[in-house]
Amino acid sequence: MKNNVKIARIQVDLTQQQLAEKIGVTRQTISLIEKGKYNPTLKLCLSICDVVQKSLDELFWVDKEERTK
């Protein structure tokens, strides 16, 4: 699953650490999400949206090929 978290984070001039702290999650979690290595919770996605000031649709999507669950 693809996402624009890294780009959006940099646009608001935050490090992974800073974003993580604002959200109340660890830096590793942010790193893994940016790398597409796992499948975050909706609440976490919404928190990220809130901090980086983007909508869900702007940040997260799946390529058609990989649509399963």
Partner DNA sequence: TTCAACTGTAACATATAGTTTACATTATTC
Partner DNA sequence: GAATAATGTAAACTATATGTTACAGTTGAA
For a copy of itself, the binding residues (CB under 8 A) are: 1, 23-25, 39-47, 50, 55-57, 60-62, 67-69
Question: Of the two residues 16 and 60, which places its CB atom closer to a copy of itself in the complex?
Answer: 60
Q: Would you give the distance in Å from CA 35 to the centre of its chain?
A: 9
The token duo for 4 is 């624009």
- What does 15 interact with, of DNA, a copy of itself, none (CB < 5 to 8 A by kind)? DNA
Strands 2-3 and 60-61: antiparallel
Q: Which does 56 bind (CB under 5 to 8 A by kind): a copy of itself, DNA, none?
A: a copy of itself
Distance CA 11, CA 5 (A): 10
